[in-house]
C-alpha cells in the first residue's frame, strides 16, 4: 500500500490497525446460512450509523420479531472499510452489511446473477468532508506527491468513490483515478487523530461526522471538498444483504427493516434523544451539545429511503468500475414500499 520505505509513520499506524481488525475479524466464525431468527450485523464508525445504535439500544429487531411470533438473536460486529465488510458478507460471517453506497455498488456488480447482493435501506442523508491540514491544499487539484489522504478502504469506500467522482469532474473521466495513488486505508478515529496531530505524513482525510467536525476544531484543518456541493444531498451510507438471506429469513428480514424504519422516525423527530443514544451505545467521547449541534440541522436527515445514489452508480459504470449498468437505483435495492420515493 505504501511505496518503498516512505511514509513510515502511517505504515506503522495502519499495520497496527490492520492487525487489530484481523483479530476482530477472526471472531466472526464462518457459518452456514442462518436459520430464521438470527441476524448478524456489521457497522462501522460515525454518526451515520446512528440508526443502528437506536435499533440496538431499544432492542427494536427483537421487538418486531416478537410481533411476528419470532425470537430473534442479534449479533453486532464493528469493522472498518467497505472491503472488509464486503468480504465478511460474501464469506457468510455477517448477514447485514453497513457501508457506503460505493461498496454496495461494487458488491452488487460482483455478485450480479449469483448471490445478488442488494441494498436493504439507507441510513440517512449526510454531507461528508474531505479535509486537509496542508495550507497549500485549497482544492483537490492542489494535492501533490507528498500528500496522503486517509479513506476507510482504498478504491472501494464511498469516500474513495466520491474522490474519483470529483477527479472526473476536475480532469475528465479518463483521469477519474488520478488521486487514488495518494490514498491510504485508515479508520476514521485514527485518521482524525493523525490529521489533527500533524505528526504523520497524512495531510488529508475524507471523513464523516462526527470525526470531520471534531477535526475542524483544530485551526490547522480545513474543508477541501463538501459532498453536498459535489452531488447535492445524498445517502452515502446504506445497509445491504444477499438475496439468499432475504428469501430464507422473511420474518427476520421484515423485523430488521421495521426496526430501521422505527429508528429513523425516532431519530428524526427527537435528535436530542438520538444524540444520547449515540453517546451511550458507542461510548464516544463527545459532548452532547456538540453532537446535537452537528446533527440538529437541515443537512442531516435520518431516513431509510435512499436519496440521489444513482448519479454515482451511472458514473462508476461509465468509467468502467462497474461491469453492469443499473437501469435505476431500484436495480441495486430490494423492493420495499418504504423505499418507493428513492433515487
The 10s digit of each residue's pLDDT in 181-217 is 999 999 999 999 999 999 888 999 999 999 999 999 9
Burial of 65 (0-12, 13-18, 19+ CB in 10 A): buried
- Looking at the chain, the whole-number percentage of residues with pLDDT higher than 90 is 78
- Give the mean pLDDT of 217-238: 96
Query: Do the domains 28-124+235-339 and 8-18+127-231 match in fold?
Result: yes
Q: How do residues 150-182 score in pLDDT, each as one tens digit?
A: 998 898 889 999 999 999 999 999 999 999 999
CA–CA dist 27, 25 (Å, integer): 5
Topology classification of domain 8-18+127-231: D-Maltodextrin-Binding Protein; domain 2 (3.40.190)
Distance in angstroms (rounded) separating the CA atoms of residues 125 and 300: 6
Map out the domains of the chain as residue ranges.
Answer: 8-18+127-231, 28-124+235-339
Which residue reads 442462518 in cell numbers? 34
The CATH number of domain 28-124+235-339 is 3.40.190.10:
yes
Summarised one tens digit per residue, pLDDT across range 41-78 is: 999 888 999 999 999 999 999 999 999 999 999 999 99
Note the Cα 202 to chain centre separation in Å: 21
pTM: 0.86
Identify the CA nearest to 166 among candidates 184, 139, 131: 139
Does residue 111 have a pLDDT over 90? yes
Can you tell me the distance from the alpha carbon of 54 to that of 203, in angstroms, rounded to the nearest whole number?
A: 34
pLDDT at 286: 87
| Arithmetic mean of pLDDT, 94-111 | 96
In whole angstroms, give the CA distance from residue 161 to residue 111: 19
Given a cut of 60, whether residue 109 has pLDDT beyond it is yes
Residue 21 has pLDDT above 50, yes or no: no
Amino acid at each position: 500500500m505504501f511505496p518503498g520505505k516512505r511514509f513510515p509513520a502511517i505504515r506503522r499506524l495502519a499495520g497496527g490497525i490492520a492487525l487489530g481488525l484481523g483479530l476482530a475479524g477472526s471472531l466472526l466464525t464462518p457459518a452456514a446460512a442462518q436459520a430464521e431468527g438470527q441476524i448478524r450485523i456489521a457497522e462501522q464508525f460515525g454518526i451515520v450509523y446512528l440508526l443502528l445504535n437506536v435499533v440496538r439500544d431499544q432492542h427494536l429487531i427483537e421487538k418486531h420479531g416478537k410481533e411476528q411470533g419470532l425470537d430473534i438473536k442479534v449479533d453486532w460486529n464493528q469493522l472498518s472499510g467497505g472491503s472488509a465488510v464486503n468480504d465478511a458478507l460474501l464469506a457468510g460471517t455477517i448477514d447485514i452489511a453497513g457501508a457506503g453506497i460505493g461498496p454496495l455498488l461494487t458488491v452488487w456488480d460482483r455478485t450480479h446473477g449469483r448471490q445478488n447482493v442488494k441494498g436493504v435501506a439507507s441510513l440517512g442523508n449526510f454531507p461528508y468532508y474531505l479535509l486537509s491540514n496542508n495550507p497549500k491544499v485549497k482544492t483537490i487539484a492542489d494535492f501533490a506527491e507528498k500528500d496522503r489522504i486517509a479513506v476507510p478502504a482504498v478504491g472501494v469506500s464511498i469516500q474513495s468513490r466520491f474522490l474519483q467522482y470529483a477527479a472526473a469532474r476536475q480532469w475528465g473521466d479518463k483521469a477519474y483515478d488520478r488521486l487514488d495513488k495518494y490514498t491510504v486505508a485508515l479508520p476514521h478515529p485514527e485518521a482524525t487523530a493523525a490529521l489533527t496531530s500533524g505528526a504523520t505524513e497524512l495531510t488529508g482525510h475524507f471523513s464523516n461526522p462526527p470525526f470531520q467536525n471534531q477535526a475542524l476544531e483544530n485551526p490547522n484543518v480545513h474543508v477541501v471538498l463538501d459532498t453536498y456541493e459535489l452531488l447535492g444531498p445524498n445517502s452515502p451510507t446504506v445497509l445491504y444483504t444477499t438475496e439468499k438471506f432475504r428469501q430464507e429469513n422473511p420474518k427476520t428480514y421484515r423485523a430488521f427493516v421495521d426496526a430501521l424504519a422505527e429508528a429513523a422516525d425516532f431519530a428524526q423527530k427527537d435528535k436530542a434523544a438520538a444524540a444520547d443514544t449515540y453517546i451511550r451505545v458507542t461510548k464516544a467521547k463527545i459532548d452532547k451539545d456538540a453532537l446535537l449541534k452537528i446533527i440538529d440541522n437541515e443537512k442531516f436527515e435520518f431516513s431509510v429511503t435512499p436519496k440521489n445514489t444513482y448519479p454515482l452508480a451511472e458514473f462508476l459504470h461509465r468509467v468502467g468500475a462497474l461491469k453492469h449498468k443499473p437501469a435505476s437505483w431500484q436495480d441495486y435495492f430490494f423492493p420495499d414500499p418504504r423505499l418507493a420515493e428513492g433515487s
